[in-house]
């Protein structure tokens, strides 16, 4: 019988094969080697995130005071441990350890792709100090977002259990299922790699003197991205989505496959 690690590795290989056939903005595929590496890192990030959430599901049940289950739960109160409880700093440390190397390599891959796209060799790699600094900042933002969502999901799960009149055992099962969610890991892994890759591509562009950037998307882009296609702004300006949210670069939404063209 195959081990869990062997099954996870097989799933990663399948992930690469499936998503390589998807429609991406063409610059991602311009360099077969960096595109292949992007997909491999995307698959690895899904595994790392999924395994973290799987293990978190058993820890999360300890972050609820089940003796208070019959009480009403407000958004910032109730049986769930407060945001400033040390357990959340511990969770952030665990998640950081699980993903920082992958995010560092994703950022480096974006910078290396820039070398190929624009024909300017810079010798970027994961040991470049600027790449490592960008990865630390990027990872911190990513981890904070995931942890905040986790706390929200725990509160919502407990609130639903109270509304349904579930006992502690039933509520515990519900909570574990909510946290150990492969769909969430998949969504994260198909969004965050583009964020990190584009961070690396922008680092390359700035280091090589680019002055502007143009949004480049697919012909069948979504309603959020299609208004941005062809829009050119200064390299440090932000694109404004139809929702009013400002972003520096793709991804504009989960599973976004848009990219940027840098102008010198």
Arithmetic mean of pLDDT over the chain: 91
What would the pLDDT profile of 35-85 be if each residue is shown by its tens digit? 999 999 999 999 999 999 999 999 999 998 887 766 554 444 467 777 778
Q: Where are the domains of the chain?
A: 4-208, 210-264
Give one DSSP letter per residue of the chain, joined into a string. ---HHHHHHHHHHHHHHHHHTS---GGGGSSHHHHHHHHHHHHHHHHHHHHHHHHHHHHHGGGB-GGGTTS---TT-SSBPPTTSHHHHHHHHHHHHHHHHHHHHHHHHHHHHHHHHHT------TT-HHHHHHHHHHHHHHHHHHHHHHHHHHHHHHHHHHHHT--HHHHHHHHHHHHS-HHHHHHHHTTHHHHHHHHHHHHHHHHTT--EEEEE--TT--TTTGGGTT-EEETTS-EE-TTS-EESSS-SSTT---EEEEE-
What would the pLDDT profile of 230-254 be if each residue is shown by its tens digit? 999 999 999 999 899 999 999 999 8
């Amino acid at each position: 019988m195959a081990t869990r690690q062997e099954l996870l590795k097989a799933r990663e290989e399948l992930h690469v094969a499936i998503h390589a056939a998807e429609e991406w903005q063409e610059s991602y595929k311009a360099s077969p080697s960096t595109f292949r590496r992007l997909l491999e890192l995307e698959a690895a990030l899904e595994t790392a995130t999924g395994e973290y959430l799987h293990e978190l599901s058993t820890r999360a049940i300890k972050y609820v005071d089940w003796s208070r289950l019959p009480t009403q739960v407000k958004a910032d109160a109730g049986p769930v441990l407060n945001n400033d409880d040390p357990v959340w700093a511990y969770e952030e440390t665990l998640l950081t350890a699980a993903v920082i190397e992958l995010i560092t390599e994703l950022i480096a891959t974006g910078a290396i792709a820039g070398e190929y796209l624009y024909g300017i060799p810079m010798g970027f790699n994961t040991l470049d100090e600027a790449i490592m600094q960008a990865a630390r900042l990027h990872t911190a933002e990513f981890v904070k977002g995931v942890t905040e969502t986790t706390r929200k999901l725990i509160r919502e799960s407990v609130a639903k259990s109270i509304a349904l009149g579930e006992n502690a055992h039933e509520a515990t099962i519900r909570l574990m299922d909510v946290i150990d969610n492969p769909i969430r890991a998949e969504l994260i892994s198909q969004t965050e790699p583009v964020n990190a890759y584009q961070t690396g591509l922008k680092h390359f562009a700035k280091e090589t003197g680019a002055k502007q950037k143009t949004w480049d998307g697919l012909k069948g882009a979504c309603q959020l991205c299609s208004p941005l296609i062809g829009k050119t702004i200064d390299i440090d300006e932000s694109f404004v989505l139809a929702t009013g949210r400002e972003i520096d670069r793709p991804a504009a939404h989960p599973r976004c496959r848009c990219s940027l063209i840098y102008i010198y």
